[in-house]
Amino acid sequence: MIFTGSGPDRKGRKMMHKFSALKFAANCTTLLSLFGVAWSQQSMTSLERGRALEMLQTVSNDVKKHYYDPKFHGLNFEGRVAEAKQGIEKAQSFNMAMSHIAAALDVLNDSHTFFLPPQHAYKHSYGMQYQIIGNSCYVTQVRPGSDAQAKGVKPGDKIIGLNGFAIDRDILWKIQYMFTALRPQAGIRLTLEDPSGAQRQVDVAAKIQQIKRVTDLTGANDASDIWGLVRDEETQEHLMRARTVEYGDQVTVIRVPEFEFNIGQVEGMLGKARKHPNLILDLRGNPGGSVDTLKYLVGGVFDKEIKIADRVGRKDTKPEVAKPLHNPYLGKLVVLVDARSASAAEIFARIVQLEKRGVVIGDKTSGAVMESKRYEERSGADTVVFYGASITEWDLIMADGKSLEHTGVTPDELLLPSSQELANGRDPVLAHAVETLGVKISAEEAGKAFPYEWPPE
């Protein structure tokens, strides 16, 4: 998508330090091998090729200037950039050129260093959600009315293969990045296994909605383009709000979908929790977020200063410290995590373990833990294409002297939903957590606590 004008200061375009990950750790050969099937094969214009080469140069310069390890782990980063340049010069489509830029950064095998390509001029959805549970990948949600639903794809189906690639923890995030951000497909081919063990192959068509190729941010035409962006932002904020349920007079459960809350919002969450002696923080599916939110949440459940981690940067090492809030919650604490819990969510869970503040229950986390800054770039003058990169500026060493990158957090209690429980909408993890705090609820009841909300199409 192309933007004209300066545009509003949207949250998604702010440059800020993050503990938030889009993880696609694997070697570049594997990354590029995923690009065999393209949704769009239109040939590149000379303008697009020149723009792609400019993007590569700008992004690689940002990495060379800001990446926390100036030696790039002993890798030949300059050589990888040169290979990407050659790839762009031969690329047959703009999407393929973007793939070469992404692969150049992927060589660093860093969860927080990745290319942010220009937004596509269409909305794209496969009509389903899927994630790693244990060591396998399962469908967790299917959008009503989607082609996926029409083809019989259901929650609880195990995804054995996606477009011919076997799915595991190492490759899933990379596939999602490629099929969502870089090279969205007209459809995907799934090899599925249902809860009974029967296997089948399904071709699922994506829903593709063309949107305006040029978005006018000058305020012309009654500023309809600007207000459309504002509505999109409001929708996203609604979907990412914290939600709370209470069980009797004993347990508060707060689902925190991301770490993007200010201190007042965090204090508001914990104010609800103080009504009960037990608190469950549900960080399942939480990709992380801002450093400040992490500090507020840590400070909200401890009555002492806590060192979050030592930040190891290009020039020095600095501690990241959370100070207790005015009235922290000091009741019993349980933290829920899964394979999509990443970055700041993982750090929070590990602090709870190291400080013996509570119990962590669920699945092993993502292992995507660094501190990065997003560098927003633009190409063009009156007509602007936005792109950029997330670049790791600090490695993070926890109080036990270890990094969580590529390791993750192993829960105190490993507990996974079965394919049958996914199919029936049950949540045995939340039900067990509540029961450990003295209140018995069924997995069916727990599964209704936080209904999944699809974004509008």
Residues 401 and 261 reside in one and the same domain = yes
CATH number of the domain bearing residue 100: 3.30.750.44
377 CB contacts (<8 Å, ≥6 apart)?
55, 58, 59, 62, 386, 387, 388, 389
Residue 312's domain spans which residues?
Answer: 236-369+396-447
Q: What tens-digit pLDDT sequence spans the chain (457 residues)? A: 332 332 323 333 333 455 665 543 333 334 444 443 333 446 789 999 999 999 999 999 999 999 999 999 999 999 999 999 999 999 999 989 999 999 999 999 999 999 999 987 777 899 999 999 999 999 999 999 999 999 999 999 999 999 999 998 988 988 989 888 888 889 999 999 999 999 999 999 999 887 655 555 555 566 566 556 666 677 778 788 999 999 999 999 999 999 999 999 999 999 999 999 999 999 999 999 999 999 999 999 999 999 999 999 998 999 999 999 999 999 999 999 999 999 999 999 999 999 999 999 999 999 999 999 999 999 877 777 899 999 999 999 999 999 999 999 999 999 999 999 999 999 999 999 999 999 999 999 999 999 999 988 8
Residues 114 and 255 reside in one and the same domain = no
Give a yes or no: residue 228 inside a domain: no
CATH number of the domain bearing residue 422: 3.90.226.10
Residues 114 and 130 reside in one and the same domain = no
The owner of tokens 């999602």 is: 176
Q: Which helix (H) or strand (E) holds 279?
A: strand 278-282
E strands present in 135-226: 136-142, 158-162, 165-166, 187-193, 199-205, 207-210, 214-216
The owner of tokens 């990379």 is: 174
* Under 8 Å between Cβ of 188 and 167: no
33 vs 416: CA distance, rounded Å: 32
For the chain, the domain total comes to 3
Residues 250 and 310 reside in one and the same domain = yes
CA neighbor of 372 nearest in space, from 114, 70, 53:
114
Give a yes or no: residue 43 inside a domain: yes
* Under 8 Å between Cβ of 54 and 379: yes
Here the tokens at position 455 are 């974004």
234 CB contacts (<8 Å, ≥6 apart)?
none
Residues 240 and 348 reside in one and the same domain = yes
Residues 96 and 151 reside in one and the same domain = no
CATH number of the domain bearing residue 203: 2.30.42.10
Residues 137 and 255 reside in one and the same domain = no
155 to each of 111, 418, 442, 454, how far by Cα in Å? 28, 11, 19, 15
Give a yes or no: residue 231 inside a domain: no
Residues 271 and 343 reside in one and the same domain = yes
Helices assigned H by DSSP within 107-200: 147-150, 169-177
Residues 32 and 108 reside in one and the same domain = yes
Give a yes or no: residue 324 inside a domain: yes
Residues 84 and 215 reside in one and the same domain = yes
